[in-house]
Structure 1
Amino acid sequence: MKKIDCLGDMCPIPILKARKELKSMNVGDIVKVVSDHSCVLEEMQSNFRKHKITSEEVINGVWEIFIEKRD
């Protein structure tokens, strides 16, 4: 699993980082994006609809967003 640290990054930086990483991944691979901005989760869900996205707020104000690459 790849990890992208986006703590402190505002949109669209996390989206651009995730998009770049997804290009080099195979179907079924997972990337974990760590963010401290709630808007990042919403943007991930709207920008990567064709992929499977799950998330968890691991501590107050910090999210781990998992993107599983599909087609």
Structure 2
Amino acid sequence: MKTVDCLGDMCPIPIIKTRKALKKTTSGETIKVVTDHSCVLESIVNNFKEYKISHEEVINGVWEIFITKD
């Protein structure tokens, strides 16, 4: 699983990094986006509706977002 480190990044940088990572993945693969901004979670959910997305707050204020390409 590829990890996209977006810690400290503000929008739109995480969206750009995520889009670039998804272009390099094949069907069925999952990428993990790590962020410390709640707005990034909302932006990813809104911008990548065609993918399966799940997320988890692993520590207070840090989220891991899993995006699976169909």
Question: In structure 1, what is the Cα distance between the partners aligned to 2:27 and 2:49?
Answer: 15
Q: CA RMSD in A?
A: 0.5
Deviation at 1:24, TM superposition (A): 1.0
Task: Name structure 1 gaps, 5 residues minimum.
Answer: none
Match of 2:9 in 1: 9
- State how 1:30-69 maps to structure 2 within 5 Å: 30-69=30-69
How many residues align? The count is: 70
Deviation at 1:66, TM superposition (A): 0.3
Identity of aligned residues (%): 66
TM-score by length of 1: 0.96
Question: In structure 2, what is the Cα distance between the partners aligned to 1:38 and 1:7?
Answer: 11
Runs of 4 or more above 2 Å deviation: none
Aligned-partner residue type, residue 17 of structure 1: K
